[in-house]
Chain A
Amino acid sequence: MSVVVCKDLVKRFGATVAVDHVNVEIQDGEFMVFVGPSGCGKTTTLRMIGGLETVTSGDIFIDGVRVNNLAPRHRDIAMVFQNYALYPHYKVFDNIAYPLRLRKRPKAEIEERVNTVARMLGVQHLLDRWPRQLSGGERQRVALGRAIVRNPKLYLMDEPLSNLDAKLRVQMRREIIHLQRNLGTTTIYVTHDQVEAMTMGDRIMVMRAGKVQQIGAPEVLYNHPANLFVAQFIGSPAMNAFRGRLETDDGKIVVATEFGRFPVGDPLVARLKPERSATLGAREVICGIRSEDISLDDAPVTPATPQAQVDLVEGLGADAYVSLTIGSTTLIARTPADCPPAENQLVTIHLNPNKLHLFDPITEETLLTLP
């Protein structure tokens, strides 16, 4: 079991800074997810922890030991790769047995442990096959088996599900979660899929252009994003965002936009950062709201409940996503699928005043204190 600490981690490839002062601490037994768009530095960070990339500056500690200069084989870490990286010239049994053979374990022990792991992953009937004879899901199970057979102190997983079809991905996601919970081993999981991040991680580290945007539990990132990027990266569909200005109406704070004036709930006003609240009044903001926090009806139009036109309705079983145009802004609202509005219909929109998110229009940082 291990604690992994990255302190001011930097990685440069020539003039390009791939990882820019990453600081993160991963707790013992935790399932930590690194998520972000392609090229954000998440895989490079993972590879530095594994020892497959050198560190330009900064430190990596595993269980209190600085491992910057330790070869991968001395770190007691197992890794699952995106394209499985099975040894094509070894049969499945030998693939799983390889880490044990390197450690010169007795033949009987190897036999027993490989069979145990194969049974656990449901691949015992495949032990005599070559990797090329396996399906994608089977290869992924074998890759997992090779990782877990030697009980390392840390698992690294680099987008292991991205090459699988959607249905298999969902199934394997559950299997990986169960496996990690049963084994209790610290795991760092890299993905570009925010759904995987939200469903699998105990905590998530969102990265962008080499920098850490926010670290926290999935619900914290979802409900209290630190900046506009996190707000729009986490959650599907992406958070709606539009420009406005904070003004006061009869002593109440409102967000004034080209298409309406939306009150800001008192709990949110209380959370406004002190340095921001001092400059309230004609302050430009970017206002965000999630699709489930917009409700639609045919109530009378007011400045706080303006009218929008329905562009498109996308049914997804239990819910429908309604694309709305209001002024020059497009919003997406989520409604129950049993009575969605019709396309081109005019509807009145209600924004939940306690679910607004306010961001600085220049830095895009949240104006609200985080929990």
Chain B
Amino acid sequence: MERIQWFKWLSLILYGIPMLLVLVFPFIVMVSTSFKTLEEVSQIPPTFIPRSPTLENYREVWNIIPLAAHFRNSFLLGVGETFLIMVLGVPAAYALARFRFAGRQPYLIFLLVTQMFPAIVVILGVFRVVVALGLLNNIAVVAATAASFSLAFCIWLLVGYFSAIPPEIEEAAMMDGDSRLGAMIKMTLPLSWPGLVAVGVFAFMDGWNEFLFSLTFISNDEMMPLTVGLFRFISRFQIQWHHLMTGSLLATVVAVALFMTVQDKLTRGMLAISEK
């Protein structure tokens, strides 16, 4: 037993702490840079603790770019993608979990296959369609496009959760007098809430972090989400590191706050997946 304890401490010191530092390092640099002036950022050697910490970046960043609008658009993207994935993905996953129909297995494989294609492969074709429909600079279109790429994965996740709910519970509800839809809403969804929360958080974070489609379909400053708006701090000749890091930190705080709120449910959801 003592040997095991000793080994555990050794692993922690040799592996755990260095890995933690590697993972946390970018975040530490981001926080540190957000309190520096541009001159101090450019200094060599770099400093981790700002010599003259300043809050000016936190004031300036709201004026240089329409940061409030970017926050709003990112939020709309997150909410929009979550809404679409839930509305489309939940019934699809339920049907795949509960019904046996011709083509079910090939369809499940097809869902997997679509995940092999990164969005960049099809972006040109999608762009031409969006242009032809006159739907550039439209947050809803970005949300729908992003959702269409995440939907397959979310359906796969939800199929696993729904399959774990004994079908007898819904059948009992139907025998008691409920419809199939009623049984799904009153029985399956409440019993699979860890999975729904996990998928919801994934969908929101996917929308919040959405970059490629926003960059491609949106040119109007006021319509850009945070990911694209902050990108404007990177110009051909200079990178406004202090503003970029400040904006990124503000964006991260929201994501972290959301995660902290649902962390418990998310952990339970992930545990439930692993048990299945």
Chain A residues with a Cβ under 8 A of chain B: 50-52, 71-73, 77-79, 81-83, 85-89, 98-99, 102-103, 146, 150, 156
Contacts and interface: CB of A to CB of B under 8 A. Distances in A.
Contact of A81 (B172, B182, B187): B172
Interface in B45-86: none
A236 B77 CA distance: 69
B173 A52 contact: no
A89 B177 contact: no
Please give me the 7 A-B residue pairs with the lowest Cβ-Cβ distance, nearest first: A85-B172, A85-B168, A102-B177, A99-B176, A79-B175, A72-B174, A73-B177
Contacts of B179: 71, 73
A82 B171 CA distance: 12
Contacts, number: 57
A292 to B, nearest CB: 40
B191 interface: yes
Given A81-B168, A83-B166, A83-B168, A89 B175 contact: no
Contacts of B171: 52, 72, 79, 81, 85
A147 B177 CA distance: 11
Interface string B236-254: 0000000000000000000
A100 to B, nearest CB: 9
B166 A73 contact: no
A88 B177 contact: no
Contact of B177 (A52, A82, A103): A103
Given A51-B174, A52-B171, A79-B172, 11 more contacts: A73-B178, A78-B175, A79-B171, A81-B171, A81-B172, A82-B168, A85-B169, A87-B169, A88-B169, A99-B176, A150-B176
A79 B171 CA distance: 9
B190 A72 contact: no
Interface residues of B, number: 17
A89 B190 contact: yes
B169 A73 contact: no
B176 A98 contact: yes
A239 to B, nearest CB: 36
B176 A146 contact: yes
Interface of B: 166, 168-169, 171-180, 182, 187, 190-191
A22 B191 CA distance: 37
Contacts of A156: 175
B177 A87 contact: no
B184 to A, nearest CB: 13
B166 A85 contact: yes
- With most chain A CB atoms within 10 A of its CB, the pick from B171, B173, B174, B176 is B176
Contacts of A88: 169, 191
Contacts of A71: 174, 179-180
Contacts of B180: 71
B21 to A, nearest CB: 44
A79 B170 CA distance: 12
Given A87-B187, A89-B190, A102 B172 contact: no
B40 to A, nearest CB: 56
Instruction: Output the residue of A81, A85, A87, A146 with the most chain B CB within 10 A.
Output: A85
A156 B179 CA distance: 19
* Candidate in B169, B179, B180 with the most chain A CB atoms within 10 angstroms: B169
Contacts of A77: 175
A87 B168 contact: no
B189 to A, nearest CB: 10
A71 B171 CA distance: 11
B113 to A, nearest CB: 25
A86 B166 CA distance: 11
A88 B164 CA distance: 14
